[in-house]
Amino acid sequence: MRSDHKLRGWSRIWPAFKNTLAGIQAGWAEPAFHMEAQLAAFMCPFAFVLGKTWLETGFLLATLVLVLIVELLNTGIESAIDRVGYEWNTLSKRAKDLGSAAVFLSLLLCAGVWLSAGIAYWQA
């Protein structure tokens, strides 16, 4: 093993996958991620109904996954800020507000794409 204790190449795949599972498990404990993941699971089948092509279906599914990705990143930001301390700080508030805004924008994008697909489906 290298002196910096970092695995290289293919030997890092399994440890990285275990970290990924731990991250998803930690995210699942967050109420916002839990709710968004359940909603995404509920909506996935509808992507196959609303999407007229595989590209449209993929785009509908991608917007659902994007919301989950951004929520996990936001949770990571919040966790890092909370590790530093719980006292009020302007920069900490700004970081958390920016993460929250990113989640909101991803939700708006998702809603817009799904609404557009729904309108196109019902007009056809």
Options 30, 36, 56, 71, the catalytic residue:
71
Asked if 71 is an active-site residue, the reply is yes
Angle at 72 between CA 80 and CA 94, to 5 degrees: 50
Q: Quick one: 4 exposed, middle or buried, by C-beta within 10 A (0-12, 13-18, 19+)?
A: exposed
DSSP string, 63-103: HHHHHHHHHHHHHHHHHHHHHH-SS--HHHHHHHHHHHHHH
Cβ atoms < 10 Å from Cβ of 64: 22
Q: Quick one: 63 exposed, middle or buried, by C-beta within 10 A (0-12, 13-18, 19+)?
A: buried
Question: Catalytic residues, which ones?
Answer: 71
